[in-house]
Structure 1
Amino acid sequence: MIKKRFLLFSDDEFILGILILLTTVFIVAEGRWSRLHNSKAISADDSVHIYLDKSTGLDNLSQLLADSSLIESKEELKWAAGILGWKRFQKGHYLVSNPLSYDTFLSKLARGIQDPVSVTILPGRSKADIVSTVANRLKFDSLAFHQTIDDSVFLARQNLDQKDVVGRLFPNTYSVYWTISPEAFFERIINEFNKAVVHSHQRQFEQLNRSVDEIVTLASIVEWEARNSDEKRRISGLYWNRLNRGMRLQADPTVNFAVGERRRLLYEDYQVDHPYNTYLYRGLPPGPITNPDLRSIKAALYPEEHDYLYMVATPDGAHAFSKTFEEHKQKSAQWRKWLQEQYRIKRMKEHKEN
């Protein structure tokens, strides 16, 4: 016969055992809770930008974070994601600039709560340059953005003609989501332009009796011409004086646009038969030659009042202004003399080096 032996515990021993069990459970739970909500679980020495170009699974995300040195253990990340119930993570741009807990970080990616990116459009740029700059900062490629701003149907909805687009690519820094569409980003630019230019200066457009396209076209020439921003209103006033007198603008930047190069112009360049060559064709060119900044647009809207009709460059990068052609010829001769001296110095320097 086999006898069963029972180990009997006193009440104190039983209570002690329960306490030990509860303490163990608490320690394990507290450890897991601490790991899950550790405020420094996701961290790096410098800010790290994470780009998910599509919905991403846990395996790919953990590898990406490990490659970026944001986590020490892929297994622990997967454990945390399992506890939190996150399996898929939304496409987008996410910035890690401060240490984060698993809970905060994984929830952010799973819900697709993106961090915006900054896109800066500089003034005085060509359409191709701007397209490239924008595409390098956002998810869409340059071809997609180029097709958008060349789409006649889309432009018609914006009350725009293709020749006027570059003038509407308003210089500014835009804070947008990386996954924004080309159409939505262009609409954002147009809205910023309308707010800063059209709505803010509507009365002045009416007083000048000029369209937005005309003002932007003149502003684009001023943008290209003026190295010194303080001269913009004076240059604008000179161009308006010539237009109001029926004179040709004779603006060098329009010739640069016609020949497709921004360089010192040659005599034969002025003879290029092109609708943007204001040495051959009267009035404003058909459209803007670049994207003017707000100061250039204001210069076109609020020109300086004077009697200047001519200007020529000066050695300091500014301009010498004249009211008569005779005065202009004298100042032009001084400019040519200075240029010839610079060429002479350059040739002597090259000769010595050789």
Structure 2
Amino acid sequence: MDNHQFFQKDAQIVRKIVLIISIAIFTACIAIAAGSYFYIKSALQPVDPDDHTPVHVSIPIGSSVNDIANVLEEKRLIKSSFVFRYYVKLKNHVDFQAGEYDLNRSMSVEDIIAALKTGKVTEKSGLKLTIPEGTQLTQIAAMIAKKTGYKKEEVLQQLNDRKYIEKLIQKYPSILSKDILNKNIRYPLEGYLFPATYSFHEKKPPISEIVEAMLRKTEKVLAKYERDRNEMNMTTHQLLTMSSLIEEEATKKAEREKIASVFYNRLRTGMPLQTDPTVLYALGKHKERVYYKDLKVQSPYNTYIHKGLPPGPIANAGEMSIQAALKPAKTDYLYFLATPAGDVIFTKTLEEHNRQKEKYIRKQ
């Protein structure tokens, strides 16, 4: 092979390499451009098209676009403060108005910009609904009915509608499962409607909007404890069931972690939980005192005659009870007794427990 042929062959190889590199660079550029396009397009869309819960935003006088973008991102009203800033600059949006606003996560970036430019400040919410800790589903239904004008029966009908529940299971798979459709469960969503204060623009929003606002709150709270729940090897249903027992047994002075330890100690030793609130739930009554005849009620919720956890939650637990269920105290207590003064006395043996009962309860 002479020098001319050698250099000719070399040139062909170089051209091929250059072509391959050029194609690779071109492809990468297209991929980056496409990725950037879809990223920006997504960032301009609503954070959650189905979440109409009002989110209060305060825009102080003198706020820059950067300040506004950061506030909106912190409130999870936009997906990217970076995209928001450059979108505002590109579209030459100006005249944002300082004030107090109620926005929501179903709004697109353009919707939010329009709202912030009108200067239309927060209006009084149409409906404010406060659900206390330990509230049961029938009580929640009554509260919704009283505040909105729906009949309690209408609310309960929706909360018990199997097709609706199945749709919710698909929509909120991180918290809802087929466990709530167990034939022994009285109300599928018992324990899943988080106790908190909710605001709605309408005085009479759809029942589904109220229910899903509560489910989203439950989802948000439980997401913080997912690792702890997995370490405890508990399902969400088991966690909320245990939390509800702790919530119903706790008094203002009670140490929830110790109450949780008693329940776990009993489960480990094969003892029935024997917690009175499950009997009251089985009876469907609220009584100041549970009598021995009540303990015989035939119900899968009665933890005096059935070992283990009841089929599902018996109330909606607050976050303190959820924390206690995940981080119980390390004790060897098997019994506890709430005194009329609200104190809780923990004991290790039945003999000790009966002595305390004689001292504080039977003499009352």
When normalised by structure 2's length, the TM-score is: 0.59
Asked if 1:238 is matched to 2:299, the reply is no
Deviates more, 1:226-235 or 1:290-299: 226-235
- 2:225, 2:138 → 1: CA distance? 29
Does the CA contact (< 8 Å) of 1:248 and 1:282 recur in 2?
yes
1:32-80 deviations in Å (ceiling 9; x for gaps): xxxxxxxxxxxxxxxxxxxxxxxxxxxxxxxxxxxxxxxxxxxxxxxxx
Aligned to 1:180: 205
Asked if 1:257 is matched to 2:281, the reply is yes
Aligned to 1:130: 140
| AA at the equivalent of 2:340 | P
Aligned to 2:237: 213
| AA at the equivalent of 1:258 | A
Asked if 1:153 is matched to 2:163, the reply is yes
Structure 1 gap segments, 5+ residues each = 1-107, 340-354
Asked if 1:142 is matched to 2:166, the reply is no
CA gap 1:328/1:230 in 2 versus in 1, 3 angstroms? closer
Aligned to 2:111: none
Deviates more, 1:314-323 or 1:281-290: 314-323
| AA at the equivalent of 1:181 | P
- 1:122, 1:313 → 2: CA distance? 21
1:170-190 deviations in Å (ceiling 9; x for gaps): 100001122421112211110
Give the alignment partner of residue 310 of structure 1, picking from 331, 335, 338. 335
Does the CA contact (< 8 Å) of 2:253 and 2:344 recur in 1?
no
| AA at the equivalent of 2:258 | R
CA gap 1:238/1:185 in 2 versus in 1, 3 angstroms? same
Give the alignment partner of residue 325 of structure 2, picking from 295, 300, 307. 300
SS at match of 2:234: coil
Asked if 1:270 is matched to 2:295, the reply is yes
- 1:262, 1:283 → 2: CA distance? 23
1:96-120 deviations in Å (ceiling 9; x for gaps): xxxxxxxxxxxx9xxxx88442111
Paired residues, number? 229
Q: CA deviation at 1:194?
A: 0.5
Does the CA contact (< 8 Å) of 1:139 and 1:180 recur in 2?
no
- 2:340, 2:208 → 1: CA distance? 44
Aligned to 1:39: none
Q: CA deviation at 1:266?
A: 1.1
SS at match of 2:255: helix
SS at match of 2:302: coil
- 1:138, 1:129 → 2: CA distance? 14
- 1:130, 1:144 → 2: CA distance? 13
Aligned to 1:118: 128
- 1:114, 1:331 → 2: CA distance? 52
- 1:201, 1:167 → 2: CA distance? 16
Bigger CA radius of gyration: 1
- 1:192, 1:139 → 2: CA distance? 24
- 1:211, 1:331 → 2: CA distance? 35
Q: CA deviation at 1:140?
A: 4.1
Structure 2 gap segments, 5+ residues each = 1-118, 170-175
| AA at the equivalent of 1:143 | E
- 1:251, 1:114 → 2: CA distance? 43
Give the alignment partner of residue 171 of structure 1, picking from 178, 181, 195. 195
| AA at the equivalent of 1:321 | F
Aligned to 2:228: 204
- 1:301, 1:186 → 2: CA distance? 26
SS at match of 2:199: strand
> What does 1:25-104 correspond to in 2, within 5 Å?
none
Does the CA contact (< 8 Å) of 2:280 and 2:286 recur in 1?
yes
Cα RMSD of the aligned pairs, angstroms, is: 2.3
Q: CA deviation at 1:139?
A: 5.6
Q: CA deviation at 1:195?
A: 0.3
When normalised by structure 1's length, the TM-score is: 0.60
